Amino acid sequence: MLSIGELSKRTRVKIPTIRYYEQMGLISAPERTTGNQRRYSKTELSRLSFIKHARDLGLKIEDIRELLTLSANPEMPCAEANHIAANHLGAIRARIAQLQRLEAELARMATCHADNIKDCYVIESLSNHGLCAENH
């Protein structure tokens, strides 16, 4: 059995986050010692590691909850898990595309070599962004 501090160290999940996951029902409320200290089993350690990895991948709590439910039923078809992963991959790809557009715009803006703000391409670009969109 692990204390909350040991569980935190092993999973690299902060103690308040562990408590939050308990409140959300993602991990079971642990057994308590006579001194009222939480004690976690290897099952909770494994489940918390699963949640941590899913969060590191950027999955939403709702998706993690569904994946946890699916993982508890190993005979179920994998289609729903694949659907969750595919939807998240699509969202990540859209975000990457958005970040690449932002990178390109900032790269153009950062090439300004004006001496004065009145001639500064950075300021001009930010000031005229909405106007450019209306003219296109």
CATH number, domain containing residue 8? 1.10.1660.10
Same domain, 20 and 70: yes
**Comparing C-alpha atoms, which of 93, 20, 118, 122 is closest to residue 61?**
20
Confidence category of residue 82, pLDDT binned at 50, 70, 90: very high
Gap between the Cα atoms of 78 and 89, Å rounded: 16
Q: Which domain holds residue 38?
A: 4-74
**133, pLDDT greater than 70:** no
What is the rounded average pLDDT for all residues in the chain? 90
pLDDT at 130: 55
Percent of all residues in the chain with a pLDDT value above 70, rounded to a whole number: 94
Gap between the Cα atoms of 91 and 83, Å rounded: 12
Q: Please list, residue by residue across 121-135, b when 16 or more beta carbons sit within 10 angstroms of its beta carbon and e when fewer do.
A: eeeeeeeeeeeeeee
Same domain, 29 and 68: yes
pLDDT at 136: 47
| Domain boundary pick from 39, 59, 74 | 74
Q: Token digits for 132?
A: 């450019």
Mean pLDDT of 58-63: 96
Same domain, 86 and 40: no
Query: What is the sign, positive or negative, of the torsion defined by CA atoms of 16, 21, 22, 28?
Result: negative
Locate tokens 């059995």: which residue? 1
pLDDT at 88: 98
Cβ atoms of 4 and 38 within 8 Å: the answer is yes
The domain tally of the chain equals: 2
Same domain, 65 and 106: no
Mean pLDDT of 9-36: 91
Same domain, 31 and 66: yes
Same domain, 46 and 85: no
Same domain, 22 and 65: yes
Same domain, 57 and 100: no
